[in-house]
Chain A
Amino acid sequence: MSIELYEPAPERLNPKFVEISNLVKSYPNPYGEDFRVVEDFNLNIRQGEFISLIGHSGCGKSTVLTMLAGLNEISEGGIIVGDREIDGPGPDRAVVFQAPCLMPWLSAYGNVMLGVKSVYPHASKAEQKQIVEHSLSVVGLADAMKKLPKELSGGMQQRVGIARAIALQPKVLLLDEPFGRLDSLTRMELQDVIIDILARENLTAMIVTHDVDEAVFMADRCVMMSNGPKAGVGEIMEIDFARPRNREVVFNDPKFFEYREHLLAFLEQRSHIKGDTRTHNRENLIGYMNKAELIDLEQKLSVA
């Protein structure tokens, strides 16, 4: 774990590496009306930033993530990753699913190789092998490469899923409740694995989660979604802990409890309200922006 890797020169950071604008997901019903699950979802993600998406179940968190992954059709609005608007799924946006989704007839190695072969078809066999072995050892499975999924525990299976995602060397890593089915001890281990990887590879990432602790501990910004239907960004909370994060340090920090309380209060408050619950005050508008944008805005204001 090296700190230098994590802190790239700020000017190289693209403040709008991922740009989600006016995103809508609607399902037409047979009577010609639209059922809008997500409406006007706006979010910019800085390069190398870790976003956690939290909200009540069924509010459309996963819908946003799968649209970003390209697995779910975008009804209106658009998503730009890097400089290109996304159109369908691609290896630049790797996904770790809630279930490990491993091919049961392939070994851990084979599962990772499946993606590597398709994304780097022109790489030599040795290079492909190296990529696979590297990603498996990064997640701590160097000794279990030849094992079949049924011989691995749930946590180990999910590690293979993570290895498969990072082996694609994506620009964005999307985590769809990746630890939802694991016990809390394994969950913590894997959280550390992810944080470790992100620090090394300087990946941009988004995690969808139910777990308030996880959302606070892992992310740089926590996006709280309003309740569906017509869900959107309810509030955005900056989380200011040093990277790389140390579990003990973070959990003992009084700020952690503030963040946590805030999140819980948000969720508590929204649990009774249906429909569009966004509050369009100035604070929240600022919340839509990330740090770089905010500095930009403040500079402009001070000049004026």
Chain B
Amino acid sequence: MADSPKDKLKYSILKVIDVSGFKVFDPPVRLIFGEEPQKQIRDIAKYMLLPILFIGVCILAWDIIGPNHKTKSGEVPNPAKVLVAYSDARRFDQREDEKNHAFEVTGSERKSEVKRVESKLAQLEKEQANLQKKSSEIAQAAQKSLDTQLAPIQEKYAALKAKNESAEEVREAEMEALAEKIALKEAQPEKLIALLKQATVAEEKEKEAESILKDQMDLIRDNPPEEVKEAQLVTNKVADEVQHHKKLLAILTKENKSVKEASLLAKAKEDAEQLAAATTGKEVLKEAKSIVKNTERAESTSEQSYPRTATIFWQTRRSLATVFVGFIIAAGVAIPLGIMCGLNRIFMACMTPLISIFRPVSPVVWLLIFQIIVGAFFLPDPASHPLFVFMNDSLNPFSSLQTNPAMIFSACTVAMCALWPALVNTALGVSAIDKDHLNVAKVLKLGFWSRLFKIVIPSSLPLVFAGLRISLGVGWMVLIAAEALSSSDGLGKFVWDEYQNGSSQSFANIILACFVVGIIGFFLDRLMIILQRLVSFDDGSATA
């Protein structure tokens, strides 16, 4: 089969593709190695191009249909807007990185950084001034054309309004006169009522005619020419950059860790000098206190880190960490329990009611229960609880994620909901073990533990991993909901915050988050499939 090194390479690539479950990439690889080109091209057309075409059609449909639906938070964003939201999120994240760097940088590096930012700022401000000038010119020109467009309508509107007002005055006078007559018993009150009804109808008609014209004017005002919009956009962008660089400069020169520390230490030194020069005991005490305070603050400054604003990328990392914590708890509980269930029918009978009752419970209920129960462990001051001190200070992947009780009980909720598929599948895998294998174990007189570890567990592994795969999928879904509800940082909270703050880009951000959640879910599933195939002794052909 695999004779030449080229063939070997080909088959090893194909094997990787097969194990990772990306069968779609099989034909292109074969095509590259020149195996039956016509067949491969046919396969590529069938299983790659057509699906891509279909996705393209879907995106096109979204692009066309989406903006037609007007909602309270603006129209449904089209794909381009979601892409813009993504690039904005990228830029935001990048800027946070820059700020973080500006906060940490010290010595000569800081100085050169200050110089760089200053020159950049000067350049940007010049550009901004230019653009502002240009954009105001464009806006003026646009205003002029707008005015010429609006003038005739405005004239019409004024004329109509004057006409309507005079008509109303006439009606009022008429009615007043009639009312006088009625008071003198010279006319019937029914007449006046009829007249009033007529007046209302006439007024409504007049108002309608006015509002049509008003709408026409609004439409013209609300849709300034494209070039104005574009100029505004470009100007805003540069203004944004200017703002960012100003902030950077401020961080570099004032908030920077080393700068702050140095200034505090300088203050302490000054205090020491003043203390030496002090004459009264009161002054000495005051200066000594100040020295202690400033040195302490300098020390704490050196331990500080830049308070990053949460970006979608950071939220994603935190969600992933939470789901893995929850998943590991779930696996740690479900696999031993599942094995016990599979081995012992009495234990299974004891567990069945628990499983049947708790499995259908909604994640929301679990979240609330865990919020109360788990929250109680970290009272009264969660931030100083040894677990969080340990995790935030020294446990590497978690130190940047600001672990807190909300994360723990979100993870517990994930664990509680992800538990069941793994548990049930493990129990099934253990109890469905091949009778022949058990007979072999009997003949070989294997003890309980070696039967468990040499026969039962290995033979149930494929089903266990199938269960874990479902568990991880469930966990990921549950987590997003739990985060949204519990305000635990993560993608769920990101979506919820975006929904609440309702800026112009919120809707696009929510859709962006939807894609992020989906794509990560997909990759988590792939990961589990690969693990499942690696533990399957039958080449994993049973799983799709």
Contact = CB atoms under 8 A, between A and B. Distances in A.
Contact of B442 (A71, A99, A148, A164): A71
Contacts of B538: 104, 150
A118 B436 contact: no
B455 interface: yes
Q: Is the interface of A mostly helix, strand, loop or mixed?
A: loop
Interface of A: 69-71, 88-91, 93-95, 97, 99, 101, 103-106, 114-115, 117-119, 148, 150, 164, 168
10 contacts: A94-B443, A97-B440, A101-B434, A101-B436, A101-B437, A104-B459, A114-B446, A114-B454, A150-B539, A164-B440
Contact of B450 (A90, A91, A101, A118): A118
Nearest to B434: A101
Given A104-B537, A150-B537, A168 B436 contact: no
Contact of B446 (A69, A70, A93, A118): A118
Q: In the complex, which of the residues B440, B443, B459 has the most CB atoms of chain A within 10 Å of its own CB atom?
A: B443
Contacts, number: 65
Interface of B: 434, 436-437, 439-440, 442-447, 450, 454-455, 458-459, 461, 537-539
Contact of B444 (A114, A148, A150): A114
Given A97-B440, A118-B450, A105 B445 contact: no
B445 A119 contact: yes
Contacts of B454: 103, 106, 114
A118 B446 CA distance: 6
Q: Is the interface of B mostly helix, strand, loop or mixed?
A: helix
B436 to A, nearest CB: 4
A148 B539 CA distance: 12
Contacts of A71: 439, 442-443
A8 to B, nearest CB: 26
Contacts of A101: 434, 436-437, 439-440
Contacts of B434: 101
Nearest to A91: B445
A99 B444 CA distance: 16
Contacts of A70: 442-443
Nearest to A66: B439
Nearest to A165: B443
A118 B434 CA distance: 20
Given A89-B445, A101-B439, A103-B458, 12 more contacts: A90-B443, A94-B443, A103-B459, A104-B459, A105-B458, A105-B461, A106-B454, A114-B444, A118-B444, A118-B445, A164-B440, A168-B444
Nearest to A94: B443
Contacts of B458: 103, 105-106
Contacts of A164: 440, 444
Nearest to A149: B537
Q: In the complex, which of the residues A88, A103, A115 has the most CB atoms of chain B within 10 Å of its own CB atom?
A: A103
